[in-house]
Homo-oligomer: A and B are copies of this chain.
Amino acid sequence: MKAAIIGTTGYGGGELIRILENHPYISIHSIHTTRDEKPVSEEYPHLTGIFDKVLTKIETEKIAEEADIVFLATPSKVSGKLVESFFNKGIKVIDLSGDLRLKDASAYKAWYKHEPVGAPILNEAIYGLSEWNREQIMNANLLANPGCYPTAALLGLAPVLTEKLVESNSIIIDAKSGVSGAGRSPSMGTLYAELNENFKIYKVNEHQHIPEIEQQLSLWNGDVVNVTFSTHLIPVTRGIMATIYVHLKEDLDTLRLLDLYKETYDGHPFVRVRKNGVFPSIKEVKGSNYCDIGLHADSRTGRLTIVSVIDNLMKGAAGQAVQNANIMFGLKESSGLEMIPLYP
C-alpha cells in the first residue's frame, strides 16, 4: 500500500514516518507540507541517511491518484479543509486532528472555536478507537483518529461503562500529558525553561477533548451526561496518564474487576492489564503502541481508581492511526507496530 503524509513537520507526522518507514506492507509514497519544499531530514536530522524524501506541495488530485491512503497530521481547521478536498476522490483518509471526531456539528464552535466540516463528512467519518470500533473501521474510508487523552480515558473506562457498573454522574478524569502533545510550533509556554521543573494545569474544564470523551461514553452508556476532565503538563516528552475516579454501583473488589478487564481486552494486542497491586507508569509504554491499565477498588470509599497510560504520539496519535490503517486494509492489526517500549 502507498501512503501519503501531510504535515510531517509536527511530531505526529514525524512519528508516522518512524512507523511507516519500517512497515512491512505500507510504504511512504510522498510527504507534503504547506511550507518550504526541502528534504525532511533538514527538519528532522535524526532521519539523515534513513529517510531523505523531499517535502512537496499539497496537490490533492495527484495525491489521490497515486496513493492508497493519506494521513493528515495537520492542525485542526487545516485538516478539515484538506478532508473536504480529498472527500470522494477514491483515497482513504485518516485525520489525526479533531475535525472529524464530533457528530454534533455545533460542538465545534463551542469547543474548537471554529466552523465544522460539512455534515456529509461528519456523518461518514468513523471514530477510530481501534479496540472498540473494529467492525466499522474495517469498512471506513474516512477515519477520525481519536485524540490522545480520549484514547487513554476511553480504553480505561470502557469495560466498566459498557457493563454499567458505575454511577453515570461520578466520572472524574485527571489526565497528565508529556509536552510533545503541544506540537513543535514555538511559543513561550512550551519553552524548556518554562516547563522544566514545572507541572501545570491548563484549559480547566475547557479542553476540546471533553465532548469527544462524553460522546463516546454516552454511546456506551446512555446515562452518562458529562464528565469532569482536567489536563496537566508533565515535564517529559512523551506519555499520558489518565487517573480516573468512578463510583461503583455495588461493592466489587479489584480482582473481579481485573478479570473483567482482562477478558474484555483478551486478544487485543495493544492493551495490557496489570495484575493486582501493580500500576503502569508512562515510561513502560514509551515509543510503543501499548495502552497499559491498572485498577484499584477502594472499599472505604466505594470508588474505583483506574490508571491508563499511553505514549501520546503512538497509541495517542500516529500509532493508533497506523493500527487503524492496518484494519482498514485487512492487514494484521499490529503490522509495523511491534516496537518494544524504550526503557529506560
Q: Give the interface of A toward B (CB within 8 A).
A: 11, 14, 17-18, 21-22, 44-51, 172, 174, 176, 179-180, 182, 184-188, 190-202, 204-205, 226-228, 230, 232, 234-239, 241, 243, 245, 272, 274, 278-288, 292, 294, 296, 298, 300-301, 303, 305, 307, 338-344
Contact = CB atoms under 8 A, between A and B. Distances in A.
Contacts of A195: 192
Given A21-B340, A228-B305, A234-B235, A284 B201 contact: no
Contact of A305 (B202, B204, B238, B280): B204
Contact of A196 (B18, B179, B185, B226): B179
Contact of A176 (B190, B199, B274, B278): B199
Contacts of A274: 45, 48
Given A199-B236, A235-B235, A236-B198, A340 B205 contact: no
Contacts of A200: 279, 281-282
Contacts of A21: 340
A338 to B, nearest CB: 6
Contacts of A230: 174, 243, 305
A238 B199 CA distance: 10
Given A228-B245, A343-B46, A344-B11, A193 B205 contact: no
Contacts of A227: 301
Given A18-B340, A46-B283, 20 more contacts: A46-B285, A174-B174, A179-B191, A180-B344, A182-B193, A184-B188, A185-B188, A186-B186, A186-B188, A196-B344, A197-B238, A198-B281, A199-B234, A199-B283, A200-B282, A204-B296, A204-B305, A205-B298, A205-B301, A228-B298
B343 A205 contact: no
28 contacts: A11-B193, A11-B344, A14-B344, A45-B284, A46-B283, A46-B288, A46-B341, A47-B340, A48-B292, A49-B272, A51-B340, A174-B245, A180-B344, A184-B193, A190-B193, A192-B194, A193-B237, A196-B196, A197-B282, A197-B286, A199-B236, A200-B281, A201-B241, A204-B307, A228-B245, A228-B303, A238-B344, A287-B287
Contacts of A341: 46
A24 to B, nearest CB: 12
B300 A46 contact: no
A196 to B, nearest CB: 5
Contacts of A288: 46
A222 to B, nearest CB: 18
A286 B182 CA distance: 21
Given A46-B341, A174-B174, A187-B186, A196 B235 contact: yes
Given A22-B338, A49-B272, A191 B197 contact: no
A300 B226 contact: yes
Nearest to A197: B236
Contacts of A190: 191-193
A227 B303 CA distance: 10
A305 to B, nearest CB: 6
B245 A172 contact: yes
Nearest to A269: B49
